[in-house]
Amino acid sequence: MLFLPVLQFSRIDGRIFLHDRESGKVYFSYPAHNVTDNPEGDPLQAGSGAPAPAGFLCISPPDFISAQFQMEFYRDRIEGPGPMPGESLVQGWGEFCQEEMGRVRFALGNPNAPAGSGDRAAWDRELLVHGGGWFHKPTRGCIRMADSDMEDLAAQVIRARRSGLVISNIFVGGKS
């Protein structure tokens, strides 16, 4: 049987899971939340401060705050060679600092998705799955996790990809 892994964020359970979409088998889960500035806002509207759009959203590979941290992460958390092409990123984080977002994040959405879709809205809103020292502080729609869980999730995703799995989306919904 084909394994179709998907990350799922459940607002009701307050957890993020990796599971097989076909069998439903859960491989791991972590506490997470989507506390926002505007919980009743329109998730498809840019600048709304609403929760992340529901449904399946693309995710990027883990994106590290610096090349130095990426190399330390691989040395300490991943068995085998350092970063392989396409399995992780080091992008410019702009105004964001480690205290606000942790040291690793995943971008949500797809710039090539149709206008009006959740995937496009998440991209246009620049939503992320990220850590940050203030676990319950509201975001503009991002899904927040504890820093240590965020780094463990990044390691799990890298290991899964190395074993041949393609984790390309996240399901955001009210039920697990």
Mean pLDDT computed over 18-27: 78
pLDDT for the residue numbered 73 = 96
| Measured distance CA(171)–CA(108) in Å, rounded | 11
φ/ψ of residue 63, rounded to 5: -115, 120
Summarised one tens digit per residue, pLDDT across range 68-89 is 999 999 999 998 889 998 889 8
Alpha helix segments (H runs only) across 19-109:
67-77, 98-101
Mean pLDDT computed over 50-77: 91
Q: Quote the pTM value.
A: 0.87
Summarised one tens digit per residue, pLDDT across range 96-136 is 666 678 899 999 888 998 999 998 999 999 999 999 866 67
Alpha helix segments (H runs only) across 62-117:
67-77, 98-101
Pairing type for strands 143-144 and 128-130 reads parallel
φ/ψ of residue 59, rounded to 5: -125, 150
pLDDT for the residue numbered 171 = 79
DSSP-based three-state secondary structure for 107: strand
Into how many domains does the chain fold? 1
pLDDT for the residue numbered 162 = 86
Centre a 10 Å sphere on the Cβ of residue 16 and count the other Cβ atoms it contains. 25
pLDDT for the residue numbered 83 = 92
Confidence of residue 1 (pLDDT cuts 50, 70, 90): very low
Summarised one tens digit per residue, pLDDT across range 2-12 is 445 678 888 88
pLDDT higher than 60, residue 37:
yes
Summarised one tens digit per residue, pLDDT across range 151-175 is 999 998 888 888 877 676 777 875 4
Going by C-alpha positions, the residue among 32, 7, 31 that lies closest to residue 19 is 7
| Measured distance CA(81)–CA(43) in Å, rounded | 39
| Measured distance CA(122)–CA(30) in Å, rounded | 21
Strand ranges, E, within the chain: 5-10, 15-20, 26-31, 55-58, 63-64, 104-107, 128-130, 143-144, 169-173
CATH of the domain at 72: 2.40.440.10
pLDDT for the residue numbered 132 = 82
| Measured distance CA(53)–CA(44) in Å, rounded | 6
Name the residue range of residue 32's domain.
Answer: 5-173
The residue with greater pLDDT, 42 or 132, is: 42
pLDDT for the residue numbered 139 = 87
